[in-house]
Structure 1
Amino acid sequence: MTQAWAMVAISLIVLVAYLFDFLGRFIRVPAVVLLLFSGLALRLVSDTLGWQPALPADLLPVLGTFGLILIVLEGALDLRLTRQATPLILRSSACAVLGILLVAAALTGLFSLWFAAPLQAVMAHAMPLAVISSAVAIPAAAALVPRLREFVVYESSISDIVGVVLFYAVIGEVGPLGSMLLRLAGEVGLSILVGLVAGLLIYWLIQRIEHHVRVLPMIFGITLLYGLGKILHLAPLIMVLLVGLLLNNSQLLGSRLKSSPSYERDLDAFKHLTAEFTFAVRSFFFVLLGFATAPADLLAPSAWLLAVLIVALCVILRWPVLRLVAGEKAEPLIWFAPRGLITVLLFLSIPPALGIAGFPGAALMLVILMWALLLTRGVMRIRPESGEGLTEPVPAHPTQFPEQT
């Protein structure tokens, strides 16, 4: 009976997530928000009935990591690198990096005043909250026009990558700044090289393998690449991003590596299966994240106060970055910087030695929920009549948001 109910629960999560994805387009609420609140509602019902299933301790980190890999890969597979898109890539990357540095510095100051803890521990807790979650931002960006959607994809993906690299640099062994920067540059450089080689290998395999099962081994090959990169202390998200960009921009490889006539069809199959996997993993992660949160913990006043301050700092600092660095209007992009999957993963990776006594764990979930609501507000504020909320611009304003793909 337990196995039967488990099958029912798994099936219902996927089907309800699909319903949320379909319904969210009409009510203009991101599906991730509905999934989070569904998990919280399930936990409330479970506690009321006295039914408390034990979730494996490593389930969320493993599921989240797998989801992060797929989300970055899916985002990269949707991007075309052209000369016209170069300014957009540079601006979104600068916005991501500067945003992380400013928010991390501000939160480090806030936590230093709030808690009596060493600087390294404070920075380890500040860095995850400074990173934009591509797992939440990219699906919600489907409501934007192509140029702004690409901006969100690049910014959130770069934010994930830079945030992970900086986080592990913070929790690593403290040494002279020069040696730390040199080690960091070496890790990133080697990651770029490995990512390009892996991308070329998969590009070659897509055109050579004729077995009826082809795409699935390649996806798990990319997850294997991520795992090995993590073990070797590289920057594995950079590898995943480069693999996706290379596969979707084979025209940059030149005539010597010209793709076969069936390459685009095979690449399309690769994209579709990646999207299906991403949808399933993301659905399970956010439902389980909500379910793993005890509703009583969310009532702590200290957690609410800290969460409000964190979100306020993030929003206040994002406005000038968008205006001065990205050269974009604050609306609607200011709301497309949610915290989510990557924030949880990095928090779970903080070593016990760098833990902060008295840090309200519920504040993390409250920050995620607040950002989810802000993201919902941003999606709802998009004005369809101006073309801002459509996949394609309104014909009456054909040059308002030119596509750069």
Structure 2
Amino acid sequence: MDQAWTMVVLSLIVLVAYLFDFFGRFTRVPAVVSLIFTGLVLRAVADAVGWQLALPAGLLPVLGTFGLILIVLEGTLDLRLTRERVPMILRAAGCATLGVVLTGALFAGVLVLWLGASWQLAVVHALPFAVISSAVVIPAAVALSERLREFVIYESSISDIVGVVLFYALLREYSGPLDFVFSLGGELLLSVFVGLVMGLSIFWLIQRIEHHVRVLPMIFGITLLYSLGKILHLAPLVMVVLVGLLLNNSHLIARFSRGRLAERAQFEQDLESFKHLTVEFTFVVRSFFFVLLGFGVSAGELLSAPAWVMAVLLMGCSLLPRWALLRGVARERAQPLLWFAPRGLITVLLFMSIPESQRLEAFPVASLMLVILMGALLLTYGSLQSRSLLAADEASAQPSSVTKE
């Protein structure tokens, strides 16, 4: 493809993604659905006119990892930690952790029975599909009430962390169960320590750097932290979450530091600039990732019968335990939260990370895209349902307020 046409396509992707995001606020259709279909259409057009676009082999995983960092950071930069929120955070953590474990176990059982896989390989293939995608659900959470939106952000972020930590832990060899537990515990503790140090360092830098270019180096510093944490086999998403929480909860830093790291007057303004640039970066990276994801799949692959059967089984393995956990652990009504558990960016990244030596050849890869599309469509239904429930709650609250007056 000519260089000028490449620039035209790249520019159009960003502009079209913006339109999808804008109109999605009214239609409640997640932008990820429109972006994936855009990629599928571009692939069909490219095949029809004979355009050859060879993407670098590692482009999608790198772009997805960068997007994951930004999305988790964006979500945590909106969360405030208070004593009143602790019970909700604990319920979200319990729901996320048990959701990953139960969904992974159920789907692993399907792979063992259907494909005859060993339990170790079955769990490795099942875990990517057990993780709720914060990349998809956090932007769509604007349809929920503030309380449920916070629950979804915490749940999806913790689900990402638990899924990533367990997945990479299972890829390594251990001498026994105790070695696995101690190794995993040590990684998490060290990750928490490094995340706290990095968060405090960025907090200090925001207050003292006067250079006009300062936010962008901090974002890439967090990216560097994630990359080094992954190389050292730590839990890098834990670090990113802690950085975001510390920056948006500076009152806790001031309280524990006894004023030594107190905020300066312009800190809130600088923090808003940091948030704004993070949102802008996240939008661009997420847009290109999902368009390229759709572009990498031909329409014919989505017509595979085994892929559809696998995708439907997976959706059942994820929705059944989620309904039970929402009622029993989260103590929330199942609707509309039941549908706010899509698969997406993190699922693709983990599935691509399965070593060739541990791949199940009989596994229908097209089911990966089908699961993402099914989850996104169910998320659309949940967003529309949320609008109806919010309207009904407001209508039922009006008579009581009038009576009190």
Asked if these proteins are the same fold (TM beyond 0.5), I'd say yes
Partner of 1:130: 130
Provide the secondary structure at the position in 2 that maps to 1:397: helix
Select the residue among 301, 308, 333 that pairs with 1:297.
301
TM superposition shift of 1:226: 0.3
Distance 1:385 1:136, change over 3 A: closer
Displacement of 1:146: 0.5
1:157-183 per-residue CA deviation (whole Å, 9 max, x = no partner) reads 000001000001111114300111100
Q: Greater shift after overlay, 110-119 or 73-82?
A: 110-119
Question: How far has the Cα of 1:386 moved from its partner?
Answer: 3.2
What is the correspondence of 1:291-330 to structure 2 with a 5 Å cutoff? 291-330=295-334
* Alignment partners' CA distance in 1, 2:138 and 2:199: 22
Aligned residues: 396
| Aligned residue identity for 1:348 | M
CA displacement at 1:385 relative to structure 2: 6.5
Please list, as runs of the form range in 1=range in 2, the aligned pairs for 1:217-366 lying within 5 A after superposition: 217-253=217-253, 254=255, 255-256=258-259, 257-366=261-370
Give, in angstroms, the shift of residue 358 of structure 1. Answer: 1.4
Residue 386 of structure 2 aligns with an amino acid whose one-letter code is: I
Contact kept, 8 Å, 2:64 with 2:345, in 1: the verdict is yes
Q: How many angstroms does 1:384 deviate by?
A: 4.2
Aligned residue number for residue 140 of structure 1: 140
**Distance in 2, Cα, partners of 1:281 & 1:134:** 14
Cα distance in structure 2, aligned partners of 1:303 and 1:3: 37
Deviations 1:167-216 (A, max 9, x none): 01111114300111100000000000000000000000000000000100
User: Percent identity between the aligned chains?
Assistant: 64
- Structure 1 residues 109-155: Cα deviation after superposition (integer angstroms, max 9, x where no partner): 00001113222211110000000000000000011110000011000
Distance in 1, Cα, partners of 2:243 & 2:79: 12
Query: Which stretch shows the higher mean deviation, 292-301 or 243-252?
Result: 292-301
Deviations 1:275-304 (A, max 9, x none): 000010000101110111111111111111
Which residue identity does 2:324 align to in structure 1?
P
In structure 2, what is the equivalent of residue 383 of structure 1?
387
Cα distance, 1:394 vs structure 2? 4.0
Higher mean C-alpha displacement, 199-208 vs 287-296: 287-296
**1:52 shift after superposition:** 3.1
- Classify the secondary structure of the residue corresponding to 2:397: coil
Per-residue CA distance 1:335-377 (angstroms, 9 max, x = gap): 0000000000000100111111211110111111111111111
Structure 2 match to 1:182: 182
Distance 1:184 1:385 in 2: 41
Contact 1:387–1:397 (8 Å) recurs in 2: no
For 2:45, the equivalent position in structure 1 comes to: 45
| Pairing 1:204–2:208 present | no
Q: 1:369 aligns with which of 354, 367, 373?
A: 373
1:3 positional shift: 1.6
Q: Counterpart of 2:326 in structure 1: which amino acid?
A: L
Question: What residue in structure 2 maps to residue 109 of structure 1?
Answer: 109
Distance 1:55 1:14 in 2: 18
Q: Which residue of 1 aligns with 2:161?
A: 161
> Which deviations, in whole Å up to 9, do the C-alpha atoms of 1:41-88 show, x marking residues without a partner?
211222222323111111110000000000000001000000111111
Which is helix-richer, 1 or 2?
2
Is the contact between residue 145 and residue 390 of structure 2 (CA under 8 Å) also seen in structure 1?
no
Is the CA contact (8 Å cut-off) linking 2:326 and 2:333 kept in structure 1?
yes
Per-residue deviation at 1:396?
Answer: 6.2
- Distance in 1 between residues matched to 2:375 and 2:319, nearest whole Å: 10
- Bigger mean CA deviation after superposition, 282-291 or 25-34: 25-34
Question: Is 1:195 the equivalent of 2:195?
Answer: yes
Q: Quote the Cα distance in structure 1 between the aligned partners of 2:82 and 2:33.
A: 34
Would the aligned equivalents of 2:66 and 2:223 in 1 still touch at CA under 8 Å?
Answer: yes
**Distance of 1:149 and 1:188 partners within structure 2:** 26
Q: SS of the counterpart of 1:85? A: helix
Superposition deviation, residue 31 in structure 1: 1.1
Aligned counterpart, 1:24: 24
Structure 2 segments unaligned to the other structure (5+ residues): 401-405
2: CA distance, partners of 1:27 / 1:73 = 26
Three-state SS of the structure 1 residue aligned to 2:79 is coil
**Amino acid across the alignment from 2:134:** S
Distance in 2 (alpha carbons) for counterparts of 1:131 and 1:383: 25
- TM (norm. structure 2) is 0.95
RMSD: 1.6
- 2:334 is paired with a residue whose SS is coil
Q: Which moved more, 1:168-177 or 1:188-197?
A: 168-177
Secondary structure at the counterpart of residue 106 of structure 2: helix
Distance of aligned partners of 1:183 and 1:385 in 2 relative to their CA distance in 1, 3 Å threshold: closer
